[in-house]
A and B are shown apart, each in its own frame.
Chain A
Amino acid sequence: MNFDNYILDPSIYDEMFLPGGEPRPHAQILHDTLAELSSNELATIQGRVNRTFSNESISFTVYGDAEAEERIIPVDPIPRIITASDWYTLSRGLEQRVRALNNFLEDIYGPARIISDGVIPPDMILECPQFRPEMRDFRQPYGSWVAVCGTDVIRVDDEFRILEDNLRVPSGVSYMIANRKAAKASLPRLYRSSRVQEVEQYGAALQATLRELSPNGKPDPALALMTPGVYNSAYYEHMFLAREIGAELVEGSDLVVRDRVVYMRTTEGLRQVDVIYRRIDDDFLDPQVFRRDSLLGAAGIIEAARAGNVTLANAPGTGVADDKSVYVYVPDMIRYYLGQEAILKNVETYLCRRPEDLEFTLDNLAELVVKRVGESGGYGMIIGPHATQEERDEYAKAVRANPADFIAQPVQSFSRAPCLIEGNFEPRHVDLRPFILNGLQTRIVPGAFCRVALRRGSLVVNSSQGGGGKDVWVLAED
């Protein structure tokens, strides 16, 4: 099926086509292969991929009004291609960023020099709900507060930009691997001839990272992945990763803390746990320290970590570094801690806590995206141009009432890629979430979860808002 009806917008970067309509050189073979497939063949491919995802139940749980719904992650079989040189820039930039963020966390919960040196205003940190004073003077092996980071990257014009850092319990890596499986099954010959870098080693890389974080270098540590349970939206991923890294999949109720040592309840009695890859939010982790009403956590786990008897990855309190306001200061952190300029730029951002930014935001609401700093997953935000006047007025009221809770960004015309939509090729906006692992060394698997805004014209890629995914092919050479 050809691309004759594919509508290019020259003002928006297309991942496959040059503005003039010619395929980009690195996407030429993909383009030609797709063009040679009949619409029947494409429908068969899509049907097969959907059936596999459904039978294997590769899902994301979405909470509606009534109850939790296990929803299959929609997958588009057409890969997005990233050249080796683009990946080189991206991975260097990501590594640099995660290094600075780790330095920042080590500093902010320790001497807090970045504040005393006047780089970041103190109220920025102290008023951030994700700043956990309980974590002061906490130590992580190798200063690795963030062991697993999922960074959202968009391409604007011909440049990658960081949309946000996810430093708490980022998810999506299991879909990266599922999407790869789907793409290989759909376009096997093309895959072979395209010299794509593998991503399946992610589990091994994660395991190696977690083992490096073993408390006091204890050899052969017992790993556990801590999940809030089967009703969590990312439960599929928790299960998947537990299997990949050979960890027990534990819930809070499986853990017992005695004398500042964490044990899990097994069929052979209590067994010590050394490293916990926790996929449960800070709030629920330990009712003795954070939310007292949490039934999902394990009492005493923070104390055990503080005593150096167990490592929590990621460390509690990392959320202060991915706060949507603190984000503005990441380039300053890179300069401050590493003495370098940021390789990957941020998106222009207005902090409504600053009077001039607030005024600008309220005056230009129709052209801006405004987000609540404490929310994630596409919740609590407004896309000015897509909202009605009433919605904007309503939102403006909330911004005026608590300006510090909001940030604003110009609507990004981030890139689009061809997707198979009801049997036709149509452009859809896409972002990129690569995963960075950080233990004794930094590891980045050459790939990412590419999120797709499936509705025509939509800019919302979040899985919780009905977004889908597609595979990302990082080429071995240009």
Chain B
Amino acid sequence: MLSRSAQSLYWLGRYLERAGNLCRLLQLQSESLVDRPVREIHFGWNRIYKYVQRDPPGGEIQLFGDEEYVLADSFALADDMTFERTNPSSVYSCFAQGRENARHTRHCISPEVWTCLNASYLRLQQQNMASVWRWEPRAFYQELVTDIETFGGLAECTMYHDDRWSFLQLGRLVERAQGAATLLLSQIDTAIASSQQEFHEEDWTSLLRVFYALEVYNHAYTVAVLPDRVMDLLVSDPLLPESLGRSVGLIGSEIASIGSGPYSRSGRALQRLVGRLSSMINYEWPDEEERVALLRDISGGADELHFLITEAYFDYPIQEPA
């Protein structure tokens, strides 16, 4: 298929996946505002800003002040992460970018997929933080999450599973893998950075909920939430839908069905990298003592995937016609 269309589909997948991850984090965050202690809310915001690698407006998020202050602050942070047009990582920006890429490649996706995305974008466009905050912010994020999941489901069942589908799927999976690695590292870094050294189970519980993994965890292990076990589940469990290992495995399948592309040097490098990532997750991870270091390697590898995909299929040097 046309390289530019493939690239747009890939980015469409990435942006919507990113918007979905963000909405899930913000949904949990808005829930915590109802009944959780200030410390936990503070942890959640720091985790989100580390995840998107952005400085919060007004600099560092302070852990002081009364409850009123925390809530007021949370409004500003939620606004920044949801509706701020100048924040390239905001939910709005991700939706707008996703839709723009979909517009470029609307003839390659099914009308059902387009209409779902467009209608959701138009609804988002008509709202603002004040209107969301007044009622139930949790429900607002929940609806967006549902929209994005509906988008994924519609794509799955209305699009022909040829290269168009594979590039869309590849974008979603690369973003999912990168996002999972980044989020795990943000969790660890935020825990290290917070002045209290003690371990807070609830911070890890909320992480499990981002991955829809809390019930699985309780079932597979015990109700005692331990960071190492949480990481095992989120990194290497092959049955957890959004585990890092599962995403990397699916990336491998999509690349296999697309083929190595016209620029074989990058195409082969891409296949080797996917193999290496799988091996790190499946074979090194279980016995690894220095898990954080390994996780950083995996995260670096996941970032590298993007560059190799771009070079192998979209921006390859032009050789003579086949």
Contact = CB atoms under 8 A, between A and B. Distances in A.
A258 B5 contact: no
A248 B322 contact: no
B147 to A, nearest CB: 12
A271 B2 CA distance: 9
A423 to B, nearest CB: 23
A269 B262 contact: yes
Interface of A: 54-57, 230, 235, 239-240, 242-243, 248-251, 253-254, 256, 258, 261, 263-272
Contacts of A270: 262, 318-319, 321-322
Contact of A254 (B4, B259, B316): B4
Contacts of A56: 111, 114-115, 118
Contact of A230 (B103, B114, B261, B320): B103
Given A54-B122, A57-B114, A267-B262, 7 more contacts: A56-B115, A230-B103, A243-B107, A254-B3, A261-B321, A263-B321, A269-B262
Given A56-B115, A57-B118, A258-B320, A267 B1 contact: yes
Given A56-B111, A256-B318, A269-B322, A249 B122 contact: no
8 contacts: A56-B118, A235-B103, A248-B5, A249-B107, A266-B3, A268-B322, A271-B322, A272-B321
B165 to A, nearest CB: 13
A174 to B, nearest CB: 12
Contacts of A242: 107
B163 interface: yes
Contacts of A240: 107
B42 interface: no
Contacts of B223: none
B1 A266 contact: yes
Nearest to B99: A57
**8 shortest A-B CB distances, which residue pairs?**
A269-B262, A243-B107, A270-B321, A55-B119, A242-B107, A267-B313, A239-B107, A239-B106
Given A55-B122, A57-B118, A230-B104, A266 B319 contact: no
Given A55-B119, A55-B122, A270-B321, A265 B4 contact: yes
A298 to B, nearest CB: 13
Nearest to A248: B2
B258 interface: yes
Contacts of A256: 318
A248 B1 contact: yes
A230 B8 CA distance: 12
Interface string B287-322: 000000000000000000000000001101011111
A249 B322 contact: no
B81 interface: no
Contacts of B106: 239, 243
Contacts of B313: 267
A269 B319 contact: yes
A383 B3 CA distance: 47
Contact of B261 (A57, A253, A268, A271): A268
Nearest to A240: B107
A249 B5 CA distance: 8
Nearest to B262: A269
B163 A267 contact: yes
Contacts of A249: 2, 5, 107
B6 interface: yes
Interface of B: 1-6, 100, 103-104, 106-107, 111, 114-115, 118-119, 122, 163, 167, 258-259, 261-262, 313-314, 316, 318-322
Contact of A265 (B2, B100, B103, B259): B2
A55 B103 CA distance: 13
Given A54-B122, A239-B106, A272-B321, A266 B111 contact: no
B66 to A, nearest CB: 44
B262 A250 contact: no
Given A56-B118, A249-B107, A264 B2 contact: yes
A258 B119 contact: no
Nearest to A251: B4
B261 A267 contact: yes
A46 to B, nearest CB: 18
A268 B262 contact: yes
Contacts of A243: 106-107
Contact of A266 (B2, B107, B114, B118): B2
B122 to A, nearest CB: 7
A413 B302 CA distance: 67
A261 B320 CA distance: 12
Contacts of B322: 268-271
Determine which residue in A56, A258, A261, A269 has the highest number of CB atoms from chain B within 10 A of its CB, and name it: A269
A54 B119 CA distance: 8
A242 B104 CA distance: 12
B10 to A, nearest CB: 10
Contacts of A263: 321
A239 B103 CA distance: 9
A268 B318 CA distance: 11
Contact of A258 (B3, B118, B258, B321): B321
Determine which residue in A235, A239, A250 has the highest number of CB atoms from chain B within 10 A of its CB, and name it: A239
Contacts of A261: 321
A229 to B, nearest CB: 8
Contacts of B318: 256, 265, 270
Nearest to B313: A267
Contacts of A230: 100, 103-104
A55 B126 CA distance: 13
A254 B2 contact: yes
B168 to A, nearest CB: 13
Nearest to B103: A230
A258 to B, nearest CB: 6
Contacts of A248: 1-2, 5
B239 to A, nearest CB: 31
A185 B287 CA distance: 62
A253 B5 CA distance: 12
Contacts of B320: 258
Determine which residue in B4, B6, B114, B319 has the highest number of CB atoms from chain A within 10 A of its CB, and name it: B4
Contacts of A54: 122
Contacts of B163: 267
Nearest to B314: A267
Contacts of B3: 254, 265-267
Nearest to B259: A268
Nearest to A224: B2
Contacts of B4: 251, 253-254, 265
A271 B318 CA distance: 12
B221 to A, nearest CB: 43
Contacts of A266: 1-3, 262
B6 A267 contact: yes
Nearest to A54: B122
Contacts of A272: 321
A241 B111 CA distance: 13
A63 B105 CA distance: 22
Determine which residue in A54, A240, A258, A270 has the highest number of CB atoms from chain B within 10 A of its CB, and name it: A270
B84 to A, nearest CB: 20
A264 B316 CA distance: 13
A270 B320 CA distance: 8
B115 A55 contact: yes
